[in-house]
Amino acid sequence: PAASPEEPPLLLFETPVYHCNVSDSGSICLDLLREKWTSAFTVPKALEAVRLLLAHPIPDDAQRQWIAELTISHVVSKGADRRYADAAAACVRKEAARSLSEWRAQWGC
């Protein structure tokens, strides 16, 4: 942003992500990227925070509650409840397996 580093960077996922803290439109629900941002943070620190969020979801601050519920069930069952893992894997197969030419077609390149 023009006011950087006073305002957080706008980070979005282009590829759909099956995660309770990422919206259907790719926006990331992370306090560091909103009200907790300070000029002491950097873009690399923000990217690291997003990486950690992907590995450690915060169901209490979910953008998609139904995924948060599956995430909690998966964690509580120590992985025995496979609904979250199976849905996430299906999303990866569908959305992250595009070829470069498919991405170019989607982006109009």
What is the C-alpha separation between 55 and 82, in angstroms, rounded? Answer: 17
Instruction: Give me the pLDDT at residue 19, please.
Output: 98
3-to-9, 36, 41, 70, 93 alpha-carbon distances in Å: 10, 16, 14, 38, 38
Question: Each residue of 43-83: pLDDT tens digit?
Answer: 999 999 999 999 999 999 999 999 999 999 999 999 999 99
Q: Residue 12, SS3? A: strand
Domains in the chain: boundaries = 31-107
pLDDT digits (tens, 9 = 90+) for 7-27: 899 999 988 999 999 999 999
Residues 6+ apart with CB under 8 A from 93: none
Q: Can 29 be counted among the known catalytic residues?
A: yes
